[in-house]
Structure 1
Amino acid sequence: MIARLLIFAAAAALVALPFFAPSHIVFLVAMIGSTSVMVAGLTIVVGFTGQISIAQASFAAIGAYGTAQLATMAGLPHWIGLPAIALVAAVVGYLFGLLSLRVADHYLALATMALCAIVQLLLIHLEDWTGGAVGLAVPPLAVGTRMLTRPTELYAVIMPCVALTVWFLHALSTSRLGRAFAALRMSEVAAAAIGIPVLHYKSLAFALSAFFGAFGGGLFALQTTYLDPAQFGILESVRLIAIAVIGGVLNPFGPLIGSAVFVLLPEAMGALGRYMSLVFSLLLLLFVVVSPQGIAGLPARLRARR
């Protein structure tokens, strides 16, 4: 009951936020939202199925650059282009899963790392399509003839997507598919023994991860308005994993909580923001050792100790 009241209060605060908060705060909260959608994909592949992926930034790049270029070169509205490119990324994720998920553990990590490196190199060298190292401008989101560029307008677009993402993660955790994913996490051998097609479900997890990564990447592109290959490298993939772990990889609200820590921590540190990477790394180490369930899992952990 208390948890439901807290969720309702948080939702009410988020709805009211654009009406009283400064534009800078609205922008930051929207950035938390778009980041959390990217991280939600990792919650599925890392948390639900127990796989290791360092490719999430590459899927975000597909969504960001694809959304921008579908609008620039094909004249496709973002309302159509963003979901379309996210579906394309899901197909890429599924096919990559079929090819690479025959390996496991650190070999899988190396395979996903290689994919991330390849995508970043393509972003740099396919200059006619991506702008190369110079970068690529992102056309603004439009409704009819009106361009949505103000933080409050983008907030109104992004936050419903965040709510749907949280709902999907919750529904997935209690669904038949979610239970199959959990079986894979516990033991692939046992899952195969009871008739679960292991390779198909692992690839499906990668497809869902790629979809959310690309969709979040597209939302991120609409906010930043300019894309740079440096935003989508291996280091960024590692950051996204850290956000997922700190927030909690088995909780639907984990991506949102971890993203809030990542986005708001530099603001809270002020002049000490240059040490943000060090502080964030220490937080990651702390939660890996002390609370693997992340911040979202702390209440249950504290209740269990009573």
Structure 2
Amino acid sequence: MARDSLNSQNDNIYDPDQDPEEKRNLRRQYRSLYKSTTEDLQDHAKDLTAEQLVEKVKQSDSLFDRVKGTAEATLDSNFLLAATQMGAAKARAMKAGAGAFDVDDFVSRLVTFMSRNQGVAVPEDLDSDNEQDYSGEPLDYARIGRRTLAKSRRIPVMDFMLGPLSIEQKKRAVAKRATLQKDEREKKKPQEITESDITRSENETTKNVATLERILQQQVGKTNLFRLIINPNDFGQSVENLFYLSFLIRDGKCALEFEHGQPVIYVSEQPSEEDYAAGLRKQQMVMEFDMATWRRAIEVFDIQEAMVPQRPKSIMRIGGKWYG
């Protein structure tokens, strides 16, 4: 089909800056094609000819020539799925002679053909009134393969067929579950925790963000990101420092830039509503910071002391009692 030739071209590459009007027009045409196809599948599946179905696929091919985004590619795959369902419906509606095509009869004849002894000649029409039991013999797939190769130029592969022809249906064993009777005397009412039992603590995140902001304001000029956040003695607090720094960047109180391949942080003036109205946009990024990066940064930048003071380990306190 035409899709095979498109794969060898470099025109269908991802382009996030594709003209929005062109993308809207492309989506509109795809939805119209998909709607007409699904309506034909529901209402006129028997009246639709194979030529009309091929014509719809060709229209999809011409639209796919202009696809450069994932949303349009999804619409294309939805249409191909609908066209495949329509093709399957047409195949089921095919007539062979006076009756419909019987899949079970075809499989039965196929098993019979592959179960014949090699020395017995098999008639071309495979019509025989002699019923034999070949269930104990292995199926000779090579025999049907030689017949198929005479009609096809495709290279045979291991997974060409969709599984074995004879499948034993597994019966699910129903296990009887015994009802567990609990002794009412063993039940214990949980202890109630009152508000006085819970020791309230201040918001640690807000406090640590303010501490990091104060340290940044004391610095002159730009500061290396890793020198600021890394605690050479505690990897966990280094990750926490990066977390707290993200709040300052989000609020525009400091800025992140790259100079000579190194990330630097400096204090900036917080943008106002007028700045956002003038076109200023927030940008987000995801930074990976694992223990290997932490150790490498300590070695490269020779970090001996932490700029952010070591924080004591936080302890969760609930009144000093044990509840169980």
TM-score range, shorter chain: under 0.3
TM-score, normalising length: structure 2: 0.20
Higher helix share: 1
* TM-score with structure 1 setting the length: 0.20
> Which has the higher Rg, Structure 1 or Structure 2?
2
